[in-house]
Homo-oligomer: A and B are copies of this chain.
Amino acid sequence: MKIAEVSERCGLSADTLRFYERSGLVRPVARDRSGVRDYAEADLMRIEFIQCMRKAGLPIDVLKEYVDLVDAGEHTMGDRIQILVEQREQLLARMRDIQQTLDLLNYKIDLYQNKLGPGSKRGRRPVKDSARAQEMAYAAPT
């Protein structure tokens, strides 16, 4: 399978696939006799794994560390678990951050819609840059 097909199937650009290979995230791919990459199913598995991790924001150097351990053999499983567990912690932390922001966004959207909804047909007096307007724009639910 050539790079264009992999690119299509995974939704990663050919440049990105080559970049991942250069960075050591993906093992050197087999080549046909004219030097063109010929991806195997196993390569795809690895690429999809990387892609999933990258989508969630795991940094490339951490992923490289992991795949290097995999390539180093079974005796590295302890270290691998450690990496995975640590990254899970990071993701959970990110989840919490995002959830907090979502809560704030929901609160503000509500606030705005209540302000805008009822009074918005007509007769809505622009309060201009009042402290209250600022509060509404930025404040948390306290």
B112 touches A84 (CB 8 A): yes
A101 touches B91 (CB 8 A): yes
The main secondary structure of chain A at its interface with chain B is helix
- Complex: A115 Cα to B77 Cα, angstroms: 9
State whether A138 and B46 are in contact (beta carbons under 8 Å apart), knowing that A56-B100, A98-B91, A129-B71 are contacts in the complex. yes
Q: Chain B interface: which of A6-14, A16-24, A28-36, A103-111? A: A103-111
A45 touches B134 (CB 8 A): yes
User: A43-73, CB under 8 A of B: which get 1 and which 0?
Assistant: 0011011001101111000000001001101
- Complex: A78 Cα to B88 Cα, angstroms: 38
Tell me the nearest residue of chain B to A72, going by C-beta.
Answer: B129
A53 CB contacts on chain B under 8 angstroms = 101, 104
- Complex: A92 Cα to B95 Cα, angstroms: 10
> Which residues of A line the B interface, CB within 8 A?
42, 45-46, 48-49, 52-53, 55-58, 67, 70-71, 73-75, 77-78, 80-81, 84-85, 87-88, 91-92, 94-95, 97-102, 104-106, 108-109, 112-113, 115-116, 124, 126-129, 131, 133-135, 137-140
